[in-house]
C-alpha cells in the first residue's frame, strides 16, 4: 500500500483523479484543496505506482508527491524540530545529492512557519547529512505539504515527482517588452517535453497574433512564418527572419516540407483546430515537430481529447499530451509528423 498527493490545475483535479482511477484501479481519494490538490491511497506499492505513471502519464496530473511520513501539528516549535528529525532519519536518501526543499500549505493550517524558515531548518539538516541544498536543478526533492493539522512529507527525483517546481507550478519571470503571457506556455512546453527550439531552422506559427510564440522562436534563432489576420506586435516586424502573412491560415498555400516546426495556439474549437492543422501538415517535413494547444470548451474534456488525438493520428505520432501549469482551459500536445 502507498499514499500520495496529486496536484492538477485549478478546477481539473476531478479529471486527474479519473485518469488515476483508470490507471491504478483500487484507489481512494481525499480532497486537500478544492479542485486542485488531493491525496490518494492505493494497494500498489511505491515502485508500482511510479512505474504505472511513467508508462502512462496522466494528462491532468501536474505533480505527484509520495507521503513517506506524517507529523501531527501542534503549531509550536516542536513541529519544526520533528520535521528536522524526519529528514535526519532518512539521511541515506539525501547524502551526496543536490536536494531542494519544497513547501506548500493549505489555507488555515496551524503550521505557522514561513517557507523560508522551514527551508532554513531542513537545509541545516541536509548539510549535516552531506547533501547540498539546491534551488535549481536538484537531483532530489523533499516535498512538504501542510494540511490544517498535519505535515505530509515525501521525497523523490524531479522525474518521479513530474516537476522540479513546488506542486509543478512552473514560474517564469516576465520580461520588459514581453509581447504576451502566452510566451510562458511555449517556454513551459519546451521544458516539459525536453525540446530545444534552437535546434530547429524554420517554424510555422498558425494563429500567431499578437506574437508571443513567434517572439520566443525568433529569439531562439529560427526563421518564422507567422499567419494571422490580426496584427502582430510592432516590435516583431523588425526581425529579418520573420515572414508575416496577414490572412486566414485556411487561405494560405505553403510549399511541402517547408518547415521543421509547427506551433499553434488558436482559440478555436478542438475539431476546427484539428482540421486546420491537418490541412497544413504537408508543409511540415516528415519527422518535424508540432506543438499545439487544444481548447477544452466542452463538459467532457477526456472524450474531447480522445477524439482530437484520434483525428491527429492520421498524420502525426502523439509524443505527449499534457495540461501544463500555464495552460488554462486547454492542454498542450507534442506531435511528430509521420
- Determine the Cα–Cα distance for residues 63 and 214; give it in Å rounded to an integer: 29
Assess whether 50 and 153 both reside in one domain. yes
What backbone phi and psi angles, to 5 degrees, belong to 326? -85, 0
73 and 158, same domain (yes or no) = yes
295 is catalytic: yes
Do 34 and 67 share a domain, yes or no? yes
Pairing outcome for strands 330-337 and 284-295: antiparallel
Does the residue 262 lie in any domain? Answer: yes
Q: Which of 115, 140, 168 is the last residue of a domain?
A: 168
**254: containing domain:** 182-337
Residue 159 shares a structural domain with residue 190: no
Q: Is residue 177 assigned to a domain?
A: no
Q: Cell numbers at residue 227, please? A: 499567419
Query: Do 269 and 120 share a structural domain?
Result: no
Angle between helices 182-192 and 212-219 (to 10 degrees): 50
Of 142, 168, 194, the residue that ends a domain is 168
C-alpha cell belonging to residue 234: 510592432
How far is the C-alpha of 294 from the C-alpha of 115, rounded, in Å? 35
In-domain check, residue 239: yes
CB 76 within 8 Å of CB 70: no
Residues 220 and 306 both lie in one domain: yes
Domain edge (last residue) among 137, 168, 199: 168
Tell me whether residue 175 is in a domain.
no
333: CATH: 3.40.50.150
Q: Quick: pLDDT tens for 83-120.
A: 999 999 998 889 999 999 999 999 999 999 999 999 99
> Domain tally for the chain?
2
Give me the pLDDT at residue 177, please: 65
Residue 157 lies in a domain: yes
In a shared domain, residues 64 and 126: yes
Looking at the structure, tell me whether residues 153 and 192 fall in a common domain: no
Strands laid side by side in the 37-42 sheet: 27-33, 37-42, 2-7, 63-66
| Statement to judge: residues 236 and 115 lie in one domain | no
174 lies in some domain: no
92 and 27 within one domain: yes
Residue 275 placed within a domain: yes
pLDDT of 76? 87
Strands 2-7 and 242-245: unpaired
Q: Which strands make up the sheet holding 150-156, listed edge to edge?
A: 69-72, 150-156, 140-146, 98-105, 132-133
Beta bridge partners of 3: 41
Asked whether residue 10 falls in the same domain as residue 141, the answer is yes
Domain assignment of residue 88, yes or no: yes
Give the CA-trace dihedral at 200, 206, 209, 214, to 10 degrees: 0
Per-residue confidence (pLDDT) for residue 178, from 0 to 100: 67
Query: All 3 cell numbers of residue 65?
Result: 508527491
CATH of the domain at 71: 3.30.2130.30
DSSP assignment of 3-41 equals EEEEE-STT-HHHHHHHHHHHH-SEEEEEEETTTEEEEE
Whether residue 217 sits in one domain with residue 125:
no
Q: What are phi and psi of 228, to 5 degrees?
A: -175, 135
Write out the chain's pLDDT in tens, 338 residues: 999 999 999 999 999 999 999 999 889 999 999 999 999 999 999 999 999 999 999 999 999 999 999 999 998 889 999 999 999 999 888 999 999 999 999 999 999 999 999 999 999 999 999 999 998 899 999 999 999 999 999 999 999 999 999 999 998 877 766 677 889 999 999 999 999 999 999 999 999 999 999 999 999 999 999 999 999 999 999 999 999 999 998 899 999 999 999 999 998 889 999 999 999 999 999 999 999 999 997 778 999 999 999 999 999 999 999 999 999 899 999 999 99
Among 185, 295, 322, 337, the active-site one is: 295
Amino acid at each position: 500500500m502507498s499514499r500520495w498527493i496529486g496536484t492538477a490545475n485549478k478546477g481539473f483535479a476531478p479529471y486527474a483523479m479519473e485518469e488515476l482511477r483508470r490507471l491504478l484501479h483500487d484507489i481512494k481519494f481525499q480532497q486537500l484543496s478544492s479542485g486542485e490538490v488531493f491525496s490518494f491511497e492505493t494497494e500498489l506499492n511505491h515502485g508500482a505506482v511510479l512505474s504505472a505513471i511513467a508508462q502512462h502519464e496522466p494528462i491532468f496530473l501536474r505533480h505527484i508527491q509520495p507521503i513517506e511520513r506524517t507529523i501531527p501539528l501542534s503549531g509550536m516549535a516542536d513541529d519544526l524540530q520533528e520535521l528536522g528529525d524526519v529528514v535526519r532519519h532518512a539521511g541515506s536518501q539525501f547524502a551526496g545529492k543536490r536536494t531542494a526543499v519544497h513547501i506548500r500549505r493549505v489555507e488555515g493550517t496551524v503550521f505557522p512557519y514561513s517557507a523560508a524558515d522551514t527551508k532554513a531548518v531542513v537545509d541545516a539538516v541536509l548539510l549535516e547529512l552531506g547533501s547540498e541544498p539546491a534551488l535549481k536543478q536538484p537531483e532530489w526533492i523533499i516535498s512538504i505539504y501542510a494540511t490544517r493539522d498535519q505535515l505530509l512529507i515525501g521525497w523523490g527525483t524531479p522525474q518521479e515527482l513530474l516537476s522540479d517546481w513546488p506542486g509543478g507550478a512552473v514560474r517564469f519571470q516576465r520580461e520588459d517588452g514581453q509581447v504576451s503571457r502566452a510566451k510562458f506556455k511555449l517556454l513551459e512546453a519546451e521544458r516539459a517535453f525536453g525540446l530545444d527550439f534552437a535546434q530547429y531552422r524554420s517554424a510555422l506559427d498558425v494563429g500567431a497574433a499578437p506574437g508571443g510564440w513567434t517572439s520566443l522562436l525568433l529569439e531562439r534563432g529560427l526563421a518564422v512564418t507567422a499567419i494571422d489576420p490580426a496584427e502582430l506586435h510592432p516590435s516583431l516586424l523588425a526581425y529579418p527572419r520573420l515572414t508575416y502573412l496577414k490572412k486566414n491560415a485556411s487561405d494560405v498555400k505553403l510549399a511541402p516540407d517547408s518547415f521543421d516546426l509547427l506551433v499553434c495556439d488558436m482559440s478555436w474549437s478542438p475539431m476546427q483546430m484539428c482540421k486546420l492543422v491537418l490541412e497544413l501538415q504537408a508543409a511540415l517535413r516528415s519527422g518535424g515537430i508540432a506543438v499545439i494547444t487544444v481548447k477544452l470548451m466542452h463538459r467532457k474534456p477526456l472524450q474531447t481529447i480522445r477524439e482530437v488525438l484520434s483525428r491527429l493520428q492520421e498524420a502525426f505520432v502523439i509524443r505527449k499530451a499534457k495540461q501544463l501549469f500555464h495552460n488554462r482551459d486547454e492542454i498542450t500536445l507534442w506531435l511528430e509528423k509521420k
